[in-house]
């Protein structure tokens, strides 16, 4: 674990300092996004902006549509049978659904980390380099440096420096998730989507990943889906509450938790729903 990440905000005093979200440019925005599968509508008219260099947490009960929204931000839902959508998602003002948009380019800019670690069946170093090689981001002589840089960025280098050539499946769950994070960072995304990245991890790994996310902004814009309200509180600048496929309320994290303007939000964040 790198020294910079040794202290993790766990007490209210260490919650992220409130940033003025209104003055920041928006990296990603959904415009009246409605989507579903077949006859089922999963998300209804979502309007939500993700300010540059901030962490946004998507919270809400199971089935509220938050994961579906996350997956539509880099069009991972495209492959789902009978998927449809209305409205739009703008990345730096450009529609990601416009004809001619290259999925490969989009996903290079909007990366994703999944609920469970999903390393590829290749060596640890090749895992980090998978995207770099495919997109031909750097020449071969830089590969080694990139592996080291990205692994140290996520605080994994010390643990694996002597076995970069071996299989990632011998690593612990937390280490595998860090590897997946390093892999996503290696292609240099502007936005990083995380789908409950710590739900299958132990508390120490969770803490480590949370502090890592704080360290990655402001260079990155992060969107994280979480079931864990305390986690949202710890890492997010902005929090959006979803209920039954609608965006109920989005606000700076502190305000959403302390003075929610909608009764449903109040019930959820106080633990009476969910």
Partner 1 sequence: MPKAQRIPMARQPSAVATAKGQVQPGPKWAGRAVATAARNLARSGWLLRGATGAAALVPVVALAGILAVLAERAWPAIVYNGLGFFTHVAWDPGSSYGNPVRTGGALHQAGATFGALPLILGTLGSSAIAIVVAVPVSVGAALVVVEKLPPRMANVLGLFLEVLAGIPSVVFGLWGALSFGPLIARDLAPLVARHVPDLPVLNFFRGSTGNGEGLLTAGLVLAVMVVPIVASTTRDLLRQVPALPKEGARALGLSDWEVSRLVSLPWARSGIIGASLLGLARALGETMAVAMVSGAFLGANPSNIYLPFTTIAATIVSQLDSAFTDGTGFYVRALAEAALVLAVITLVANVAARLLVRKAGGVALPVGRGI
Partner 2 sequence: MASPAATSLSGAGAREPLDLYGRPPWRRRAADRAGWAACLLALALMGAPLVSVLWGVVGRALPGWRWDVLWQPATSQGGGLGSEILGTLVIVAGVVVVAGTVGIGSGIFLSEYASGMAGSVLRAGSEVLAGIPSIVLGYVGYLALVIGLHWQFSLGAALLTLSVLTAPYIAKSTEAALRQVPTSYREGADALGMAPLHAMRRITLKAALPGVVTGLLIAVAIAIGETAPLLYTAGFTDNLPSLRWAHNPVGYLTYAVWTFYNQPSNVFQDLSFDAALVLVVMVLVLIAVSRAVVARAGRHAERN
Binding at 118: pick from partner 2, partner 1, none (beta carbon under 5-8 Å per type): partner 1
Cα 14 from Cα 81, distance rounded (Å): 44
Residue 13 or 104 with smaller CB distance to partner 2: 104
C-alpha distances out from residue 20 to 17, 135, 199, 238, 245, Å: 10, 36, 29, 10, 27
Residue 138 interacts with partner 2 (CB under 8 A)?
yes
Asked whether the beta carbons of 115 and 199 are under 8 A apart, the reply is: yes
CA angle 85, 28, 130 (to 5 degrees): 90
Binding at 122: pick from partner 2, partner 1, none (beta carbon under 5-8 Å per type): partner 1
Tokens at 61, concatenated: 């009960």
Number of chain residues interacting with partner 2 (CB under 8 A): 40
Cα 37 from Cα 149, distance rounded (Å): 40
Residues 83-122: x/- map of binding to partner 1 (CB under 8 A)?
Answer: --------------------xxxxxx--xx-x-x-xxxxx
Residue 233 interacts with partner 1 (CB under 8 A)?
no
Tokens at 227, concatenated: 């079931």
C-alpha distances out from residue 95 to 53, 90, 102, Å: 20, 4, 11
For partner 2, the binding residues in 190-249 under the rule CB under 8 A are: 190, 192, 215-216, 219-220
Task: Give the interface with partner 1 as residue ranges (CB under 8 A).
Answer: 74, 76, 79, 103-108, 111-112, 114, 116, 118-122, 130-131, 134-135, 180, 183-184, 187
Task: Give the interface with partner 2 as residue ranges (CB under 8 A).
Answer: 2, 4, 91-92, 94, 96, 98, 100-102, 104-106, 108-109, 132, 134-138, 142, 145-146, 148-150, 152-153, 185-190, 192, 215-216, 219-220
């Amino acid at each position: 674990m790198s020294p910079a990440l040794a202290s993790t905000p766990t007490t209210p005093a260490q919650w992220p300092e409130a940033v003025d979200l209104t003055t920041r440019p928006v990296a990603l925005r959904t415009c009246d996004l409605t989507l579903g599968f077949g006859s089922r509508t999963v998300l209804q008219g979502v309007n939500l902006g993700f300010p540059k260099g901030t962490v946004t947490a998507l919270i809400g009960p199971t089935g509220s549509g938050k994961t579906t929204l996350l997956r539509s931000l880099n069009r991972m839902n495209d492959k789902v049978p009978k998927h449809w959508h209305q409205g739009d998602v703008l990345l730096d003002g450009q529609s990601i659904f416009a004809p001619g948009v290259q999925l490969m380019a989009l996903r290079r800019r909007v990366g994703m980390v999944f609920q469970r670690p999903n390393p590829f069946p290749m060596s640890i170093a090749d895992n980090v380099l998978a995207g770099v090689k495919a997109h031909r981001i750097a020449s071969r002589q830089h590969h080694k440096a990139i592996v080291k840089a990205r692994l140290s960025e996520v605080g994994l280098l010390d643990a694996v420096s002597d076995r970069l050539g071996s299989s990632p499946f011998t690593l612990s769950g937390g280490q595998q998730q860090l590897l997946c994070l390093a892999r996503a960072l290696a292609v240099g995304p502007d936005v990083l989507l995380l789908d409950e990245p710590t739900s299958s991890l132990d508390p120490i790994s969770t803490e480590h990943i949370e502090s890592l996310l704080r360290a990655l902004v402001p260079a990155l814009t992060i969107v994280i889906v979480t079931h864990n309200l305390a986690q949202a509180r710890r890492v997010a600048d902005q929090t959006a509450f979803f209920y039954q496929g609608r965006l109920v309320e989005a606000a700076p994290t502190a305000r959403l938790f302390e003075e929610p303007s909608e009764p449903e939000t109040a019930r959820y964040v106080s633990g009476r729903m969910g």
